[in-house]
Amino acid sequence: MDYDIIFITGEPFSDNPLCGLAILKRLLEKHGYSVGIIVPEKSEDVAMLGKPKLFFGVSSGSIDSMVRNYTPMNKPRIADPYTKNMPILPDRAVIVYSNWIKQHYKDVIIVLGGVEASLRRFSHFDYWSNSVRHSILVDAKANILVYGNGEKQVLELAKRIKEVKELTGIRGTCIKYRDLPKDFTLLPSHDEIVASKEKFCDMQNLLTNYKDLAEKDGNFYLLQYKYPDYSSKDLDEYYELPYTREADKSFLKGFEFSVVTHRGCIGNCNFCSLKLLQGNKIISRSKESIIREVKYLTTLPNFKGYIDDLGGPSANMYGMDCNECSNACIDCKKLNRSNNELIELLRELRKIPKIKKIFIRSGIRYDLATIPYLKELINHHISGQLRIAPEHVSKNVLELMNKDKGNLKEFIKTFESLGGKLSYYFMTGHPGSTLKDAELLGKELKTLKNAEAVQLFTPTPMTVSTCMYYTGLDPKTKKPIYVPRTFTEKKEQKRALI
């Protein structure tokens, strides 16, 4: 069979809406395109389905290959239980896969996508090589890059390539171009950010999904066309496509019957890349669409009555949609913090026949949780403990994380008074964190139960925290900040938590 589009990916494929590639495949098929998928282990594998009529789509999957392959201490993740059953993923997989394709097909169109491509779409600091690298579009020598969720982008790409039209101007994509178009915001050039850490900060401050951006690199410009407008109606369509819900158990074990309620995150945590992937505005699915999906799940032969997880990046941001301005929603007094839409949805879902329990496992934003919502969780939707991510207790570190919202001690007191139990995620080694800060966190951990998940900060491309790590500056103020860089100090900070 000659496929219109062939996706090359580094993850197992599951015909399940938790798999981003499944959404793209089902949507393209709905519009009449044939789609093949390859998870290659060697160069020859990318040719096993032949040459696509339109393009190859290349992705490492839902995680950057360097993050998946290495620990924060830059050691191979050879014993990681979450990756031991995964396919072999080469370092810098997007570049490797693109090179493999070009070994077999010289004139095929290559489209980059996924997390690795999205967060390396401009020049960026690469922790693993300790250097500022060019855009991955340059290094992979691909034709075009899709960033963020890519449903609208791939449909438009397929249409234009089929009709032999230019690929310029597609919202949510990046291309290389000789000239600087009008009305684009010009970032500092690649040479400028390599030469000046202050210029690197200037670039970081300008990064957004919601503007046309340009970066000069050599004798051409990298152009980012602003992100397309996605709506609740769009999400309803995508998540209700006819998936079999079959899942690769090594990859989606325990989550095959999960339901996504919304996209985006208004938290704007500095160490998180979500605002440059899904955006920093919430797009919620309609209540009716979610109910239809859950009813469909009850008809499947392997469904036992349990929804594995219901939520999004933070489960209780459902219903907090607002696109009236470009300001940070979490700081806005107009933000609907009632959780009423979510509470209503949960109550409707519990009425569905054959539903025994709906779990909320993806964690919540505790500073956006109301008492009525917490009661709903404790009484109906938690198995054992609720996960929250305070990340730290030092005021200085929390401010640099942009995580200084809410009062953790008051929340713990309230939650436990309602009969609930908590587990926690914390982080050390973040820019601004001294050994004294780590010791403060360690002291606090001894007073908390179930504070077992503590990770070292990993500088991932394009985040504000990574900018701090590389430059030693707060990008907003340009003031110097302390950065724990050596492996010795990182180990000391981790030991201080024990």
Q: Which amino acid is at 477?
A: T
- Strand pairing report for 185-186 and 262-263: unpaired
The answer, yes or no, to whether residue 451 has pLDDT greater than 90, is no
Q: Residue 250: what pLDDT?
A: 67
Q: Which residues contact 296 (CB under 8 A, 6 or more apart)?
A: none
- 1 vs 331, residue with greater confidence: 331
Q: Which of 168, 167, 169 is nearest to 158 (CA)?
A: 167
Here the CATH number for the domain that contains residue 241 is 3.80.30.20
Identify whether residues 261 and 218 lie together within a single domain: no
Which residue range forms the structural domain that includes residue 292? 232-495
Identify whether residues 248 and 294 lie together within a single domain: yes
Q: What are phi and psi of 262, to 5 degrees?
A: -165, 170
Q: Which residues face 176 on adjacent strands?
A: 222
Q: Give the C-alpha separation, 281 to 320, whole Å.
A: 8
Q: Which of 347, 338, 421 is nearest to 372 (CA)?
A: 338
Q: What are phi and psi of 348, to 5 degrees?
A: -70, -40
The answer, yes or no, to whether residue 360 has pLDDT greater than 70, is yes
Identify whether residues 264 and 206 lie together within a single domain: no
End-to-end alpha-carbon separation of the chain, Å?
57
Q: pLDDT grade, residue 362 (50/70/90)? A: confident
DSSP-based three-state secondary structure for 341: helix
DSSP-based three-state secondary structure for 128: coil
Q: Which residues face 110 on adjacent strands?
A: 56
The answer, yes or no, to whether residue 27 has pLDDT greater than 70, is yes
Identify whether residues 107 and 245 lie together within a single domain: no
Exposed e or buried b per residue across 417-444, where buried means at least 16 C-beta atoms within 10 angstroms of its C-beta = eeebebbbebbbbbbbbbeebbebbbeb
> Final residue of a domain: which of 194, 224, 254?
224
Q: Give the C-alpha separation, 405 to 314, whole Å.
A: 15
Identify whether residues 338 and 271 lie together within a single domain: yes
Q: Give the C-alpha separation, 118 to 148, whole Å.
A: 6
The answer, yes or no, to whether residue 249 has pLDDT greater than 80, is no
| Planar angle of CA 58, 63, 64, nearest 5 degrees | 75
> Final residue of a domain: which of 202, 224, 246?
224
Q: Give the C-alpha separation, 199 to 188, whole Å.
A: 6
DSSP-based three-state secondary structure for 211: coil
**For range 254-281, the mean pLDDT:** 93
The answer, yes or no, to whether residue 79 has pLDDT greater than 80, is no
Identify whether residues 212 and 283 lie together within a single domain: no
> Final residue of a domain: which of 180, 207, 224?
224
Instruction: Estimate the crossing angle of helix 435-445 against helix 487-495, to 10 degrees.
Output: 30
Identify whether residues 250 and 278 lie together within a single domain: yes
Least confident of 113-117, 317-321, 442-446, 467-471: 442-446
Identify whether residues 219 and 236 lie together within a single domain: no
Q: Give yes or no for a contact between 225 and 274, defined as CB atoms under 8 angstroms apart.
A: no
**For range 403-421, the mean pLDDT:** 93
The answer, yes or no, to whether residue 421 has pLDDT greater than 80, is yes
What's the structural domain count of the chain? 2
Q: Give the C-alpha separation, 51 to 38, whole Å.
A: 12
Identify whether residues 108 and 139 lie together within a single domain: yes
Identify whether residues 350 and 214 lie together within a single domain: no
The chain-wide mean pLDDT, for the chain, equals: 94
Identify whether residues 179 and 319 lie together within a single domain: no
DSSP-based three-state secondary structure for 484: coil
Is pTM beyond 0.85? Reply is yes
Identify whether residues 196 and 237 lie together within a single domain: no
DSSP-based three-state secondary structure for 364: coil
Q: How far is CA 71 from CA 80, 120, 175, 391, 438, in A?
A: 9, 19, 32, 18, 19
